Amino acid sequence: MKPLSFRNRPIAAKLRLIIIVACVVVTALTCGAFVAYQWGASRSSMVRALTTRAQILAFNSAAAVAFNQPEDAAEILRAVQADPPTVGVAIFDKDGHLFTRYTTGIPESEIEARSVSSPHYAYSGGFVTVWVPIEAKKVRLGTLAIKRGLYEFYQQLRLYLAIAAGVMAASTLVAYWISSRLQRVVSDPILSLTGIARRVTEQKDYAIQAPRTSEDEIGVLTDAFNIMLLAIHNSQEETSRLYRQVREHAADLENRVAERTGQLLNANQELEAFGSSVSHDLRGPLRHIMGFSQILIEDYGPQIPKAARDYLDKIFERSAQMERLIDALLEFSRVSKQSLAVQTIDMARLCRKIVAELRPDDENHRIEVKIGDLPPCKGDLILIQQVLVNLIGNALKYSRNSNPALIEISASVPAGGTAPVYSIKDNGVGFDMVDADKLFVVFERLHDARDFEGTGVGLATAQRIIQRHGGRIWAESAPGAGATFSFTLGDPLASSGTHAPPSEAIPTT
Amino acid sequence: MFKLRSWVPRSRLVFAAAALQLSLFSSFGAAPPSEDELKAVFIFHFTQFVRWPPDSLPETDAPFVIGVLDDDPFDAVLARMIRDEKVGPHPLELRHVSNREQVLGCHILYVPRESEQKFRAEKLQGLPVLTVGESDRFLLSGGIIAFFSERNHVGLRVNLEAARNAALNINAQLLRIAQVVEPSK
């Protein structure tokens, strides 16, 4: 386990440490200043005393120096025996020659000769030396030097340092004791706040409120914390209330959607049933009309006047057209109900087959059909084939007045899209884009049936098939400029229940 | 024995005559001084350890006179020693004296050994003249200070009674290193 850094320590420990450090630093500074002052003061007072002593000796030995009596001077100097730290005294004459001296004999008692006109002192290796001039009536006679050890001061310094260390140790202990008690004033409210914050976090209970114990910043913090908790609590309640509301609404919506869908399905089924039964039921009478018309023409043809016979032909012809319309309508409604048998379809091959079947045999009419590189798709083969038959058939039909007729079947993948767009382009009569939205409506025709035959159901059926495959179909054109029909196929499974195993086999006729 | 006293004002100590220090002993060089040179220095130092009555030097620029009785080879040494020296404000002056009148103007009178016979202390009775001689006989006949030589050491003997008669005050420090002789006891 790695040691706790100060930053990560508990607040109580931090406060305690801060107080102790502050105490120790202050005590250390105080003791240091005191010891330094004592040391300097006692040294300078010692130097003063030593200088005075040297001056007394100089005064007393002036005559001895003046009248060249070294023995007398030596006797005067011997007085320093009374002060054991003094290791030597020496008198130098005016020229700096040793006149006489008193020495304890130790090596450190050697004294440097100096010529001075006023007192001087110097420290060297645990000793201090003071030089004073020897004068009589302002006439300089020589120099007296006295050298003294500083052991007692070092001893004193050690004592001071020991006392300082003791004071610091004691103050550290006292600081620890005091800080352990005082820090609680600050740390206890914080700890209680922390405890509540932890409870809130762990139990997710925002209804708790922290007790307020003081009027200071921690009190303010506690208030802010409580207000925050309250705000969270309230907003949480509001959120859950809104959430419940939203869920209720969603459920309501779902119900309504299901209800409407059911209604729509019913309506649709009724409509389709109606359509299919109407178509079916219309066929019966139609067969009778056609059958009897035919009998009339075949059995009584010669007896019927020419004009009546023409009418009969017209009745038969229009009845046949009505039969085709009814078939187309039945096909259209069948497309909506039939389930999809999805498989992989080779579109290029399928297109070639359809073109080969639909292409008219007319020597005089040149038709060029280009089939590009078409990617395979997935879908119901029969239905996709029906779409292509419709679109290619239209292209051939509406371009039959163009010579040569140019039909281009291609595919492209738009930027960012995944499903390929299949296009069938012709150079036929085209149409006005204003009418584009009528194209895929049942029985809506943009061209007269006398110019271009048709039921008006083909494109509606194609659109229904594409929609059932999850795709989209649209057309672009201008009158006389040809038309381009494009479609995409989505995921056929998304809009169909049944699924046939994918097959590479392409049925060819 | 020592008592701590307040810091001694330095100004009193600083006022040392550096020129004096140089001229007094510069002629010695490194060689030890001769006996005559020592005596000449001693005579100069007497001016520092003896106090004359104030009326003996009435004017501030009056010379301090050292007289030498009769001619003596010593005066050349002495003259060299005290040249350009002063006692306080008073310039030192060296004179040869041979009669009482001349002696009366002196503050110090050196009596060479050869002239001791001629010296009569009675004639100077009461005058503030520090008489300096070479023998005990000179002291006993009323001289105040006499040099003596002993084991290559020049010492001093002082006749305190004679000094008192001459109204001269001899410094206790000088007395401490000198031998005091009192002929009357």
CA-to-CA separations, B184 to B91, B135, B142, B161, B167, in angstroms, rounded: 36, 17, 10, 8, 18
Name which of A385, A409, A377, A345 is nearest A489 in CA terms: A377
Identify which of B8, B42, B156 has the shortest CB distance to residue A55: B8
Length, in residues, of chain B: 185
Residues 6 or more apart from A395 whose CB is under 8 A from it? A407, A424, A425, A426, A428, A483, A485
Residues 6 or more apart from A121 whose CB is under 8 A from it? A47, A50, A51, A128, A129, A130, A131
DSSP H helical ranges for B15-165: 18-25, 35-49, 74-82, 100-104, 136-140, 160-165
Q: Amino acid identity, residue A432? A: D
The CB density around residue A486, as the number of other CB atoms within 10 Å, is 18
pLDDT of residue B16: 34
Identify which of B8, B155, B173 has the shortest CB distance to residue A62: B173
Contact A67 B21 (CB under 8 A): no
B72 vs A285 pLDDT, higher one: A285
**What residue in A sits closest to B27 (Cα-Cα)?**
A95
ipTM of the complex: 0.75
Both structure tokens of A214:
């003081």
Residue with tokens 């359509």: A275
Q: Which of B6, B26, B37, B48 has the most A C-beta neighbours within 10 Å, making it the best mutation to test the interface with A?
A: B48
Give the whole-angstrom CA distance, residue A301 versus residue A313.
11
Give the whole-angstrom CA distance, residue A188 versus residue A207.
22
- φ/ψ region of B33 (left if φ > 0, alpha if ψ in -120 to 50, else beta) reads beta
Range of weakest confidence among A54-63, A457-466, B119-128, B174-183: B119-128
pLDDT of residue A437: 80
CB A140 within 8 A of CB B17: yes
Name which of A317, A300, A399, A319 is nearest A358 in CA terms: A399
Identify which of A56, A66, A135 has the shortest CB distance to residue B16: A135
CA-to-CA separations, A319 to A286, A301, A313, A399, A445, in angstroms, rounded: 7, 18, 10, 28, 20
Whether A362 has its CB under 8 Å from any CB of chain B: the answer is: no
Element (DSSP H or E) covering residue A379: strand A377-380
Range of weakest confidence among A36-40, A58-62, A436-440: A436-440
pLDDT digits (tens, 9 = 90+) for A304-356: 888 888 888 888 888 888 888 888 878 887 787 778 888 889 988 999 999 88
Contact A133 B25 (CB under 8 A): no
CA angle A109, A111, A112 (to 5 degrees): 155
Whether B58 has its CB under 8 Å from any CB of chain A: the answer is: no
pLDDT band at A142 (very low <50, low <70, confident <90, very high): very high
Whether A142 has its CB under 8 Å from any CB of chain B: the answer is: no
Which chain B positions have a beta carbon within 8 Å of A63's beta carbon? 49, 171, 173-174, 176-177
Which chain A positions have a beta carbon within 8 Å of B156's beta carbon? 67
pLDDT of residue A498: 40
pLDDT of residue B144: 92
pLDDT of residue A491: 63
Residues 6 or more apart from A448 whose CB is under 8 A from it? none
Q: Which of B26, B177, B179, B180 has the most A C-beta neighbours within 10 Å, making it the best mutation to test the interface with A?
A: B177
Contact A72 B42 (CB under 8 A): no
Whether B31 has its CB under 8 Å from any CB of chain A: the answer is: no
Buried b (16+ CB within 10 A) or exposed e, A405-417: bbbbbbbeeeeee
Both structure tokens of B46:
């007497």
Give the whole-angstrom CA distance, residue B155 versus residue A491.
144
Whether B149 has its CB under 8 Å from any CB of chain A: the answer is: no
Whether A38 has its CB under 8 Å from any CB of chain B: the answer is: no
Both structure tokens of A22:
């502050």
Both structure tokens of A225:
């914390």
pLDDT of residue A212: 80
Which chain A positions have a beta carbon within 8 Å of B25's beta carbon? 94-95
pLDDT band at B108 (very low <50, low <70, confident <90, very high): very high
Statement: residue B78 has pLDDT above 90 = no
Locate the DSSP E strands across A72-201.
Answer: 86-93, 98-103, 120-124, 127-136, 139-149
The CB density around residue B155, as the number of other CB atoms within 10 Å, is 17
Statement: residue A506 has pLDDT above 60 = no
**What residue in A sits closest to B51 (Cα-Cα)?**
A137
Query: How many beta-carbon contacts under 8 Å exist across A and B?
Result: 90
Name which of A66, A54, A55 is nearest B20 in CA terms: A66
Average confidence score pLDDT of chain A: 85
- Which of 94-133 (A) contact B at CB < 8 A? 94-95, 117-119, 132-133
pLDDT of residue A3: 58
pLDDT of residue A468: 85
pLDDT of residue B62: 85
pLDDT of residue B28: 42
Q: Which of B2, B37, B49, B158 has the most A C-beta neighbours within 10 Å, making it the best mutation to test the interface with A?
A: B2
Contact B42 A68 (CB under 8 A): yes
Quick one: A418 exposed, middle or buried, by C-beta within 10 A (0-12, 13-18, 19+)?
A: exposed
